[in-house]
Chains A and B, each alone.
Chain A
């Protein structure tokens, strides 16, 4: 066979590489990772013009943060699903953990680099998942773990500091940003070069790889397939037995992890809910003013308190700035809320200074006065 005809044959042959489910996982990862990067990095570099334009284009910083969180949930859901699939393959199907790095991978890198620079004659014969792919896979695992842990602390800083020292939050923020930068640059450099620039590798979308590509990147796997060797699978009765153990475990773990995810997202309100500024605080009244208030007590209090300075001797108002209170129409709850808050120029009076009972007396007296 001439080299030309051999090449043609190799181009025609295609080998299954990824199942539809695996390709779908990759799409979910592609979507969540890209959007997380596009909404996360501008937050890290918010002082840069490009980041500001991107944030504006995405509808402002609050929208960016919401989208970032939605995508974080998607990524975490994918991680839970992947964990389930992985457990099934390793335990039920007895698949070897071939994504784990081995010494052989280190040797492959070394041989490959030497081959590239001409110090070795042969391209190393690489296995089903070569060193480059393992690095990417493990980086995704490591990165996701780091991002989930630090992301939790940033999403729930109040809850996190109930257990951890406060200084962990800025550290988590630094790690979240640095890890993101590392992940994005790794994708742009290593991933892009290997599957887009060097050669457009469509196997993650179409599922198959040509024999030519297989020969260069997975020679050992190609030979194994051509020898007709299949991955050893356990006998059906063993699989059935393992499934009986696996499914209850899988259902339990999924329930636990999904609950953890819901907990993650809904755990804390106070860090993200708007606390309205100068809002009238929820006032729980300790007294029934109608029953407790005595006008004469209120009048006596009025002469002792500084109120008359602005509101007048008999609450009729004053020359200059004044708010007459005589003939008050506010209901008691609103009256208390105003006094506790201190509207405009008025100082606020906390319960330590003026009790609800005293306010009830004042309220009763003020209402009894004729409006000026």
Chain B
């Protein structure tokens, strides 16, 4: 069974559960339903657009607001005739007749979760992605608070989700408030919110859109340097900010980076404790490297190292050469060692090679001169 099918089943299950909770089929038990003409929203709006709209009392005591503002729908992406034929009420809502048929949801949340199943009819690709993501996983586990389509995109008021780009972070921030506040203060968040920077990542650039992977898995961790590198190793992009693209290469030549790269390549699902980018720079609270609150600014570096090396002393952070090419001025000792071996290795090996060459020369000459029949 594909994930998408099970997705529909779960959402459908919400409605069935709701019906069982109520213990009765519903709404009105009149003389028989009258079909609603397709495209005739005005028929629905007779009731649903009234200033004092009907509300529906649910089994758990909560009420479901039933009012729809036709202007909101018209201003949404689904009301824009340029994209696609505008959607009418019955395109999404299953109530194809009045009085309405079917079961009442158990509570407002169950209704909302179930409502997302309707989006799948058109947005199959997104739904498939969602089915692979953490939110659906939580929903399948029985956490009804996990976000579904309408929680992020809205119901009648669906707008382009990334216009402006700040909308993305704000959407996630509706639930992930603490993370949002951190991100908003971070180097990426400030650029996004205050400078309207089109390049800085929002939530979805790192976490994905619908198929959001769990960010605490070994796989996410092992792959994370590549994730940062998608921007930070892009010379053209980084040139705009004056940020070196050597950061990724230099990380990979360091002990931490070498190890993580090998794990990523050979044992992606095995966690390594070697530092990745966000262990030092922070996760959502990344600050400019020279800022006072940066985890990696000189003054804070020792505390950052101590997260993993609790016994580290003041000299220890200097063991990290940095993300920039070492120069004789920045790393005199390292430079001296490299120079020493750059001279020693060719000298020793060259000396050996010359001596061996003379020996080979003699042996060949002896063999050539040696009269046949001897030896």
Contact = CB atoms under 8 A, between A and B. Distances in A.
A167 B263 CA distance: 27
A164 B319 CA distance: 10
Contact of A186 (B334, B348, B365): B348
Interface stretch (B1-9, B47-55, B306-314): B306-314
Given A162-B313, A167-B318, A275 B273 contact: yes
A170 B319 contact: yes
A182 B348 contact: yes
Contacts of B253: 47
B200 interface: no
B259 interface: yes
A264 to B, nearest CB: 17
Contact of B359 (A60, A116, A118, A174): A116
Interface string A199-215: 00000000000000000
Given A116-B362, A118-B365, A270-B310, A178 B318 contact: no
Interface string A254-296: 0000000000000011110011111000000000000000000
Interface in A65-118: 109, 112-113, 115-118
Interface size class of A (residues with CB under 8 A): 35 or more
A192 B265 CA distance: 35
Contacts of A357: none
Interface string B332-356: 1110111001001100110011111
Given A174-B338, A178-B341, A321-B175, A117 B358 contact: yes
A56 B176 CA distance: 40
A158 B178 contact: no
A3 B371 CA distance: 13
B interface, over-half SS: helix
A12 interface: no
B334 A164 contact: no
Contacts of B258: 43, 46-47, 61
B287 to A, nearest CB: 17
Given A158-B312, A161-B315, A166-B319, A321 B145 contact: yes
Interface in B89-144: none
A175 B341 contact: yes
A370 B258 CA distance: 53
B358 A113 contact: yes
Interface size class of B (residues with CB under 8 A): 35 or more
A276 B273 CA distance: 7
B337 A171 contact: yes
A181 B259 CA distance: 21
Interface string A336-358: 00000010011100000000000
Contacts of A345: 175-179
A275 to B, nearest CB: 5
Contacts of B355: 109, 112-113
Nearest to A346: B178
Nearest to A166: B318
A178 B311 CA distance: 29
Nearest to B352: A190
Contact of A167 (B252, B309, B331, B356): B331
A189 interface: yes
B349 A167 contact: no
A235 interface: no
A112 B362 CA distance: 10
B341 A179 contact: yes
A290 to B, nearest CB: 31
A362 to B, nearest CB: 19
A275 B266 CA distance: 22
Interface in B291-322: 307-313, 315-321
Given A186-B348, A277-B279, 12 more contacts: A47-B252, A47-B261, A60-B262, A60-B266, A116-B359, A118-B365, A178-B345, A181-B345, A193-B352, A193-B359, A270-B308, A270-B310
26 contacts: A55-B262, A61-B259, A61-B263, A113-B358, A116-B359, A117-B358, A117-B362, A118-B365, A157-B316, A161-B318, A162-B313, A166-B319, A166-B320, A167-B318, A167-B319, A173-B255, A178-B344, A182-B345, A189-B356, A193-B352, A198-B359, A275-B308, A320-B174, A345-B177, A345-B179, A346-B178
Interface of A: 3, 43, 46-47, 52, 55-56, 60-62, 109, 112-113, 115-118, 157-158, 161-162, 164-171, 173-175, 178-179, 181-182, 185-186, 189-190, 193, 198, 268-271, 274-278, 310, 320-321, 342, 345-347
